[in-house]
C-alpha cells in the first residue's frame, strides 16, 4: 500500500526566494512573494535549443557542474495517511499546498535541509521556505511539544518553520515518497526574477523513513512516456525533459518568444503525484487514476 495506516498524533503548538537564494549551502531569509510557473515536457533533443534561446538573458546557477551542468535535488514528500495533498492535486483544487523537505547532492549530508510549503492558488505559486542543519532534521520535530536546538536568523524564517510544523501536525503528515532528479538551472540576469530549469533523470522511491534519503531502497524511473502523458494532453512518444519557466509579475518577452518559436506545449507535471500513480500501478492499488488505467490497457 502507499499510505501507512498508523496515524501520526496531531499536536497543537509560499513564497518564492529571490535570485540570491540559489546558494543552497548558505542560510537564507524566508520571503513571501508571488510566483508564476509553467511546465513543459520536451524531447531531449530540444534542450540545446532552450539553452541557445536563453543564453543572452540568463546565467548558470553556480551550483551546477558537469556536462550538462546540473545539481542533484533530493525531495522528501510528506502527506497525510489518506493522501490528502495528493488528492488535492488529482481533483485540481484551486487552493492547495504541498509539504516537502529538500536537500542537495549525492550522497546527501553536505547541504542543509530546506522545509518548504508550496501553496498554489490557481496559477499563482506562494512558497515559504526555511533551512535547518542537516543533522537537526527528523521525526522528533513533529512529536516533541517543545522544539530545541534550532535557531533562525530572522523572524520570517522562524515563522516559515513553525508554519510547516503546524500544517504537518494538523494533517498528521509523514514521509510517503522520495523524488530525486538532476536539475540544470538558469537565472535571469536582466529581470527581477525569472528562472529556467531542465529536470532529467527523474526517479522515485516509496518510503516511510524520515532520514534514509533513499539509502538501501530501490529507485524507479519516473521519466517515461506513461508517466509524462495524460489522456487530455498532447500524446508523447518519448522520455522527456521537464522544462519549467518561473517568473514573478509579467512574463519576460524573451520567455514568450521562446515558447512561440519552439512551439512548446504546456503540461501539468507534478512529480509527487506521478510517483504516487507509478507506485499504484506497480502495486495494483486503487489509487491508480482512470486515465492511467486506460494507458495500461493499451500496452
**Which CATH number covers residue 42?**
3.20.100.30
Q: Domain of residue 36: give its range.
A: 19-297
Is 181 among the domain residues? yes
2: pLDDT confidence band, cut at 50, 70 and 90?
low
Which candidate, 24, 26, 27, places its Cα nearest to that of 73?
Answer: 24
Is 259 among the domain residues? yes
H/E run at residue 296: helix 290-297
64: pLDDT confidence band, cut at 50, 70 and 90?
very high
Is 94 among the domain residues? yes
CB atoms within 10 A of CB 209: 16
Q: What is the largest CA-CA distance in the chain?
A: 55
Task: Supply the pTM of this predicted model.
Answer: 0.83
Is 147 among the domain residues? yes
Q: For residues 200-224, give the mean pLDDT.
A: 93
4, pLDDT greater than 70? no
Q: What's the structural domain count of the chain? A: 1
Q: Which residues pair with 74 in a beta bridge?
A: 103, 180
Is 193 among the domain residues? yes
Q: What is the pLDDT of residues 122-173, one digit of tens each?
A: 778 888 999 999 999 999 999 877 888 899 999 999 999 999 999 999 999 9
User: How far is 293 from 226, CA to CA, in rounded Å?
Assistant: 10
C-alpha cell belonging to residue 174: 509523514
What percent of the chain has pLDDT above 70? 78
Looking up cell 500496452, which residue turns up?
299
233: pLDDT confidence band, cut at 50, 70 and 90?
low
Kindly report which listed range (93-107, 184-198, 210-224, 230-244) carries the lowest average pLDDT score: 230-244
284: pLDDT confidence band, cut at 50, 70 and 90?
low
Is 5 among the domain residues? no
Is 222 among the domain residues? yes
Q: For residues 52-74, give the mean pLDDT.
A: 97
Q: State the pLDDT at residue 234.
A: 58
Is 23 among the domain residues? yes
Amino acid at each position: 500500500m502507499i499510505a501507512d495506516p498508523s496515524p501520526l498524533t496531531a499536536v497543537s503548538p509560499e513564497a518564492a526566494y529571490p535570485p540570491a537564494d540559489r546558494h543552497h549551502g548558505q542560510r537564507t531569509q524566508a520571503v513571501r512573494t508571488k510566483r508564476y510557473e509553467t511546465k513543459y515536457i520536451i524531447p531531449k533533443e530540444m534542450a540545446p535549443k532552450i539553452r541557445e534561446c536563453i543564453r543572452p538573458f540568463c546565467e548558470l546557477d553556480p551550483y551546477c557542474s558537469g556536462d550538462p551542468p546540473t545539481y542533484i535535488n533530493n525531495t522528501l514528500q510528506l502527506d497525510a495517511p489518506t493522501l490528502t495533498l495528493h488528492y488535492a492535486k488529482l481533483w485540481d483544487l484551486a487552493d492547495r499546498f504541498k509539504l516537502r523537505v529538500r536537500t542537495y547532492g549525492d550522497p546527501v549530508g553536505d547541504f542543509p535541509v530546506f522545509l518548504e510549503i508550496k501553496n498554489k492558488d490557481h496559477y499563482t505559486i506562494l512558497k515559504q521556505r526555511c533551512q535547518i542543519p542537516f543533522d537537526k532534521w527528523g521525526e522528533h520535530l513533529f512529536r516533541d511539544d517543545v522544539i530545541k536546538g534550532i535557531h533562525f536568523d530572522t523572524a520570517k524564517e522562524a515563522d516559515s518553520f513553525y508554519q510547516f510544523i503546524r500544517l504537518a501536525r494538523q494533517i498528521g503528515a509523514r514521509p510517503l515518497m522520495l523524488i530525486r532528479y538532476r536539475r540544470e538551472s538558469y537565472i535571469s540576469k536582466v529581470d527581477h526574477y525569472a528562472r529556467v530549469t531542465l529536470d532529467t533523470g527523474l526517479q522515485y522511491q516509496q518510503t516511510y523513513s524520515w532520514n534514509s534519503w533513499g539509502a538501501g531502497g530501490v529507485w524507479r524511473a519516473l521519466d517515461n512516456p506513461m508517466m509524462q502523458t495524460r489522456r487530455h494532453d498532447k500524446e508523447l512518444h518519448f522520455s522527456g525533459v521537464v522544462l519549467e519557466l518561473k517568473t514573478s509579475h509579467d512574463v519576460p518577452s524573451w520567455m514568450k518568444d521562446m515558447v512561440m518559436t519552439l512551439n512548446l506545449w504546456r503540461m501539468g507535471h507534478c512529480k509527487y503525484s506521478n510517483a504516487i500513480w507509478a507506485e499504484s500501478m506497480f502495486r495494483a492499488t486503487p489509487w491508480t487514476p482512470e486515465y492511467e488505467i486506460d494507458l495500461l490497457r493499451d500496452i
